[in-house]
Amino acid sequence: MTAGEALKLRVQLSKEGVLRYLSHTEYWRTVMMAAKRSGLPLVYTGKYRSRMKISYSPPLPIGFTSECELIDFFISHYISPAEAQRTLQLNLPEGITVLRSKVIGSGSAPVGRLIDTALYIATMKCGHALAKDLVSAVNDFLNSTEVYVRRVQPRSVRDINIRGGVHRLEVAEAKSVKECLLTMVVDDGTRGTIKPREVVDYLLGVVKADPDVIETVRIHRKALFQMRGGRLISPMEVRARSRWGG
Amino acid sequence: MASSRSMAGSLWDQIEPLLLRVERPSRYLGCEWNAPKVKEGDFRVVVAYPDIYEVGVSNLGLAIIQEVVNLLDGVSCERVFSPSTDMEEELRKEKIPLFSLESHRPVGSCDIFGISIPHELTYTNILNLIYLANLPVRASEREDGPIIVGGGYGTVNPEPLADFFDLFVLGEAEESFAELVELVKALKGKKGRQEIIEEASKIPGIYRPIDFEFSYLEDGRIAAVRFRGGENASLKKRLVDLDKHLRPSRPIVPFCEAVHDRLNVEIFRGCTRGCRFCQAGMVYRPVRERSAHLVERMIQEALQITGYDEVSLCSLSSTDYTEIKRVVSDLKNICKRMQVNITLPSLRMDGFSVEIASGLNAAGSITFAPEAATERLRRVLNKPIGEAEMIEAVVKAVRHGKRRIKLYFMIGLPTETDKDVSEIPKLIFRLRDAIRAEGLAPPAFNISVSSFVPKAHTPFQWCAQETLASLEGKQRMLRSALQVRGVNLSWHDRYMSTVEGLLSRGDRRLGRVIETAWRKGAKFDSWSEHFRFSVWEESCLENGVDIEFYLHRERDPDEIFPWDHLHFGPSKDFLFREYRRALSSELTVDCRFGDCYGCGACENNKKSHLLKGERI
Ligand code: SF4
């Protein structure tokens, strides 16, 4: 591989509107086909069948929105990130917006091997009393060393301790719109994955929330990071430190 | 996108909460890349494919028709597919009617509801679509609502579905369906529903089933078919010139992986190789090729606006295309530059086809359909591939790096003996030995065996279908003979073939059977996890229909068939001649490059193939 082939175009995209109902595979297939239409200088690999060489961020569950879906396109030569962003956007359906893009030189790990942490925001309709209960449920959660949730899958039922994978958890009340915002920083990627929905459901279970509250839960992935020495580094700005860092 | 969801009548707000309760919500979103924008207030057509999204969205016919109709002034054409069973349950629970994908408005409120009829095992899904649209399933009970039009391959014998459709489009629908839409649009609000249907039935290629009445003999055979009024000249399939219809020009790109997840471009329609079991080969005659430069232009343009990484050159027999060498060599360069793979489905089993196909992608697998293992039986079928050719094909394929060879066979063929069946494993072993003798490592053989179903408008329409017991014996024999390493054997469910056989040569009396089976819960009959043969048996019993009569009876030469009044090209005389020739293993050569033998498909038997190159 020549030095040029190791170049990567790192793109940060959103997932919004009705496209939040796309699965992980469907979402990336849509982005990759858009990249192909846009004529980017993509690199292909494969002995029998050529495949686009890419690396992308950890899966986002169906129904979640996001402003930090990340993909590395391996490119054969340098292209201005602004131009790449413009042409890619023209070929993407409504619901996927290119937020940022950057050309990464050789030697840096692809995004799929980089990310281990995510910042999620869950919103739900809730009154003041429930919000207060949630604050104490969050405090109890943070003061515990073990929090078990039951994960039911088609062929297994397991009790899993999620506490260790939740690094930050905060609850805020937006009184004017009668909503609660639950912000969490959790393992997501190379270190394993904490399902944000499981954290939310656990807390709503503790406060005995009504099914109509549970129905209103919306989850958004706000940011993805690499945790380095307790600091959260954004894959788009390798040197920048997040407010969650340290 | 946003505008169609907020369009008056859109059910989106009721549908959206269901999406997280069902598998693969993207099936119900619409708004795929290249999906058409629909206009509020337009004359509204909805076209349906009676299977789930991933299957229906791959259907080339539906994509062509949607595009053709959307070009008409003031007309919007939307799609709908069968909701999967989980979504259907939710829709029923929430009392939400079937909705179109583009605007999420109820299908029942459109002006024309066109339903594709791909094959017999989708008939219950067709009834389900009509029912979920909140419309009475029987045409006679529909006083208002959209005109329901059936089209596609299944109209070759639409009689078992006659009770459920207002009209059928016979043959290729690009022109006739567009004419029908224009006419209904012009008459909307000026004439009553029945009058409009009657007017539409006068368009050539449009068939109104209630115009015909059947009477039956005591033994169950048809006594006569009577046209209820005057002369009807329209019951002839329509054909189109592919160079005049470069569609679809903007293929819709599904979010999910479809069953044929590639760009599909037709290179020709029709085939006159004359395989006697093949319905498509009989009813799409004559051969009409698309010009090479137009094929190439379509592919280049469509690749650019879709982003697919594979293109398939579609036809009934790809390497029979007279311009295949030119197209393949031109496309190879274009596709290499665009990082696109080219595939050729439906390959003949000969060295030439393998050369062409192998030049495109080195490894992977290759598929051939020898159909039968003995030369005698292949002559009966009029598919005379010599064993030397077969050996040449597989050796070349392996030499080109193919590690898997898929072979299609049929059992239960006319005149077939146990010896013909026992030759299947022997043939595979001979092919394997021939590969070894060349010093090559034998590939894996995937053997797919289906049960032969005699079809309407073919020389074998007079034949009896093999009984379940006999097929079972033959399958058992193959299973024990092919339990060897490197050979994988798979079947088509023989019970499914029974239902397919019942409906493929069925008449109007089977409408009640289909309806009963559907009311008992039959749907997705081509899916093994949903298919229940017992439901069909019970439905036949309840309606006094004898399966034996339809399946296992050899027809008299002069028997009237339910589809005799529908003209799909080859005449009944020709088909019978071919049947006789089959029984004496006589071959009939391809008329494309030989003499016309007067099958009746060309106007006045004047050879009218549209070939764009010379014989290869
Ligand atoms: S009419 Fe003649 S030329 Fe035309 S398809 Fe039939 S046999 Fe061939």
Query: For residue range B542-580, what is the model confidence (pLDDT) as tens digits?
Result: 999 999 999 999 999 999 999 999 999 999 999 999 999
Mutate to test the interface with B, among A15, A37, A65 (most CBs of B within 10 A): A37
Strands (E), chain A: 8-15, 44-45, 51-52, 54-56, 65-74, 98-104, 117-125, 148-153, 156-161, 166-174, 179-189, 192-193, 218-228, 231-233
Looking at the complex, report in whole angstroms how far the Cα of residue A18 sits from the nearest Cα belonging to chain B: 7
H or E, element range at B168:
strand B167-169
Chain B residues with CB inside 8 Å of A50's CB?
A: 309, 339, 341
Would you say B298 and B244 are in contact if contact means Cβ atoms under 8 Å apart?
Answer: no
pLDDT at B195: 96
Segment B337-366 shows an average pLDDT of 83
Boundaries of domain holding A123: 117-242
Among residues of chain B, what percentage have pLDDT more than 70?
Answer: 98
Segment A102-123 shows an average pLDDT of 92
pLDDT-derived band at A2, boundaries 50, 70, 90: very low
Q: What is the spatial distance between Cα B357 and Cα B339, in angstroms, rounded to a whole number?
A: 17
* B16 to chain A: closest CA residue: A18
Residue B251 has pLDDT above 70, yes or no: yes
B605 touches ligand 1 (CB under 6 Å): yes
Residue with tokens 């829709």: B91
Asked whether the beta carbons of residue A34 and residue B33 sit closer than 8 angstroms, the reply is: yes
Same domain, A178 and A230: yes
Residue B499, judged by CB atoms within 10 A of its CB (0-12, 13-18, 19+), counts as buried
pLDDT at B2: 46
Asked whether the beta carbons of residue B256 and residue A29 sit closer than 8 angstroms, the reply is: yes
pLDDT at A177: 81
Looking at the complex, report in whole angstroms how far the Cα of residue B581 sits from the nearest Cα belonging to chain A: 45
- DSSP class of residue B556 equals P
Q: How far is the CA of B570 from the centre of ligand 1 (A)?
A: 8
**Which CATH number characterizes residue A209's domain?**
3.30.70.100
Chain A residues with CB inside 8 Å of B253's CB?
A: 33
* A63 to chain B: closest CA residue: B20
Same domain, A136 and A100: no
Of B2, B20, B309, the CB nearest to A62: B20
Name the CA radius of gyration of chain B, rounded.
24
Q: What is the mean pLDDT of chain B?
A: 94
pLDDT at B376: 97
Same domain, A42 and A139: no
Same domain, A137 and A88: no
Would you say B152 and B142 are in contact if contact means Cβ atoms under 8 Å apart?
Answer: no
A154 touches chain B (CB under 8 A): no
B589 touches ligand 1 (CB under 6 Å): no
What values do phi and psi take at B559, rounded to 5? -65, 140
Residue A241 has pLDDT above 50, yes or no: no
Looking at the complex, report in whole angstroms how far the Cα of residue B544 sits from the nearest Cα belonging to chain A: 44
B599 touches ligand 1 (CB under 6 Å): yes
pLDDT at B362: 59
Q: Is B302 left (phi over 0), alpha (psi -120 to 50) or beta?
A: alpha
Same domain, A102 and A123: no
Of A21, A36, A44, the CB nearest to B307: A36
Asked whether the beta carbons of residue A21 and residue B307 sit closer than 8 angstroms, the reply is: no
Domain total in chain A: 2
pLDDT digits (tens, 9 = 90+) for B354-413: 888 877 775 678 999 999 999 999 999 999 999 999 999 999 999 988 999 999 999 999
Residue with tokens 């048996």: B537
B602 touches ligand 1 (CB under 6 Å): yes
Would you say B507 and B555 are in contact if contact means Cβ atoms under 8 Å apart?
Answer: no
Q: How far is the CA of B318 from the centre of ligand 1 (A)?
A: 20
* A50 to chain B: closest CA residue: B339
Three-state DSSP at B188 gives strand
Residue B550, judged by CB atoms within 10 A of its CB (0-12, 13-18, 19+), counts as buried
Q: How far is the CA of B170 from the centre of ligand 1 (A)?
A: 20
Which residue among B285, B577, B595 has the greatest number of ligand 1 atoms within 8 angstroms of its CB, and so is best to mutate? B285
Question: Which of A111, A139, A157 is a domain's end point?
Answer: A111
Of B1, B255, B339, the CB nearest to A22: B255
Asked whether the beta carbons of residue A21 and residue B26 sit closer than 8 angstroms, the reply is: yes
A65 touches chain B (CB under 8 A): no
Q: In degrees, to the nearest 5, what angle opens at C-alpha A33 toward C-alphas A27 and A60?
A: 15
Chain A residues with CB inside 8 Å of B363's CB?
A: 47-48
pLDDT digits (tens, 9 = 90+) for B6-52: 889 999 999 999 999 999 999 999 999 999 999 998 999 999 999 99
**Which CATH number characterizes residue A11's domain?**
3.30.70.580
Comparing C-alpha atoms, which of A7, A30, A5 is closest to residue A102?
A7
Name the CA radius of gyration of chain A, rounded.
20
Would you say B305 and B35 are in contact if contact means Cβ atoms under 8 Å apart?
Answer: no
Residue A240 has pLDDT above 60, yes or no: no
What values do phi and psi take at B384, rounded to 5? -85, 70
Same domain, A63 and A150: no
Identify the top-confidence range among A125-134, A223-232, B185-194.
Answer: B185-194
B306 touches chain A (CB under 8 A): yes
Asked whether the beta carbons of residue A18 and residue B5 sit closer than 8 angstroms, the reply is: yes
B432: number of CA atoms within 13 Å, CB side?
Answer: 20
B26 touches chain A (CB under 8 A): yes
Structure token pair of residue B489: 């054997």
Chain B residues with CB inside 8 Å of A35's CB?
A: 307
Among residues of chain B, what percentage have pLDDT more than 90?
Answer: 87
Which residue among B282, B605, B609, B610 has the greatest number of ligand 1 atoms within 8 angstroms of its CB, and so is best to mutate? B605
Same domain, A85 and A124: no
B386 touches chain A (CB under 8 A): no
B308 touches chain A (CB under 8 A): yes
Structure token pair of residue B386: 């010599």
Segment A167-171 shows an average pLDDT of 96
Q: How many CB pairs under 8 A join A and B?
A: 75
Same domain, A150 and A200: yes
Three-state DSSP at B56 gives helix
Structure token pair of residue B506: 């069925």
pLDDT-derived band at A230, boundaries 50, 70, 90: confident
H or E, element range at B216:
strand B212-216
Question: Which of A61, A76, A111 is a domain's end point?
Answer: A111
Cross-strand partners of B47: B79, B114
- Please name the residues in contact with B37: beta carbons below 8 A apart, sequence gap of 6 or more: B3, B4, B102
Asked whether the beta carbons of residue A94 and residue B363 sit closer than 8 angstroms, the reply is: no
Residue A239 has pLDDT above 60, yes or no: no
Asked whether the beta carbons of residue A18 and residue B31 sit closer than 8 angstroms, the reply is: yes
Domains and CATH numbers, chain B: 12-236 (3.40.50.280), 262-499+557-605 (3.80.30.20)
Question: Which of A68, A86, A111 is a domain's end point?
Answer: A111
pLDDT at B1: 43
Would you say A69 and A235 are in contact if contact means Cβ atoms under 8 Å apart?
Answer: no
Looking at the complex, report in whole angstroms how far the Cα of residue B602 sits from the nearest Cα belonging to chain A: 42
Task: Report which ligand 1 atom has the smallest distance to the Cα of B287.
Answer: 5
Asked whether the beta carbons of residue A34 and residue B341 sit closer than 8 angstroms, the reply is: no
Structure token pair of residue A195: 């399902």
Residue A80 has pLDDT above 70, yes or no: yes
B364 touches chain A (CB under 8 A): yes
B571 touches ligand 1 (CB under 6 Å): no
- Please name the residues in contact with A153: beta carbons below 8 A apart, sequence gap of 6 or more: none
pLDDT-derived band at A238, boundaries 50, 70, 90: low
Chain A residues with CB inside 8 Å of B21's CB?
A: none
- Is cis: bond before B248, omega within 30 of 0? yes
A36 touches chain B (CB under 8 A): yes
What values do phi and psi take at A159, rounded to 5? -95, 125
Q: Between the CA of residue B445 and those of B402, B424, B485, B581, what are the distances in Å?
A: 11, 12, 9, 33
Three-state DSSP at A184 gives strand
Comparing C-alpha atoms, which of A103, A195, A110, A100 is closest to residue A147?
A195
Task: Report which ligand 1 atom has the smallest distance to the Cα of B599.
Answer: 6
Residue B334 has pLDDT above 70, yes or no: yes
Asked whether the beta carbons of residue A93 and residue B33 sit closer than 8 angstroms, the reply is: yes
Q: What is the spatial distance between Cα B266 and Cα B172, in angstroms, rounded to a whole number?
A: 13
Task: Report which ligand 1 atom has the smallest distance to the Cα of B596.
Answer: 2
Asked whether the beta carbons of residue B253 and residue A94 sit closer than 8 angstroms, the reply is: no
A45 touches chain B (CB under 8 A): no
Residue A244 has pLDDT above 50, yes or no: no
- Please name the residues in contact with A36: beta carbons below 8 A apart, sequence gap of 6 or more: A42, A52, B307, B308, B309, B339
Residue B387, judged by CB atoms within 10 A of its CB (0-12, 13-18, 19+), counts as middle
* Between residues B414 and B335, the one the model is more confident about: B414
H or E, element range at B48:
strand B43-49
Comparing C-alpha atoms, which of A92, A192, A93 is closest to residue A101?
A92
3-state SS string for B420-434: HHHHHHHHHHHHHHH
Residue B234 has pLDDT above 80, yes or no: no
Same domain, A24 and A91: yes
Same domain, A126 and A230: yes
Same domain, A80 and A138: no
pLDDT at B230: 60
pLDDT at B19: 97
Three-state DSSP at A127 gives coil
pLDDT digits (tens, 9 = 90+) for A70-79: 999 999 999 9
Long-range pairs for A24-29: beta carbons < 8 A, 24 or more residues apart: A24/A59, A24/A60, A24/A61, A25/B256, A25/B257, A26/B26, A26/B255, A26/B256, A27/A60, A27/A69, A27/A96, A27/B255, A28/A54, A28/A56, A28/A71, A29/B255, A29/B256, A29/B257
Three-state DSSP at B390 gives helix
Residue with tokens 């909140």: B134
pLDDT-derived band at A197, boundaries 50, 70, 90: very high
Segment B80-88 shows an average pLDDT of 98
Residues in chain B: 616
- Is cis: bond before B286, omega within 30 of 0? yes
ipTM (interface pTM): 0.93
Segment B331-343 shows an average pLDDT of 88
pLDDT-derived band at B156, boundaries 50, 70, 90: very high
Segment B600-604 shows an average pLDDT of 90
Same domain, A58 and A10: yes
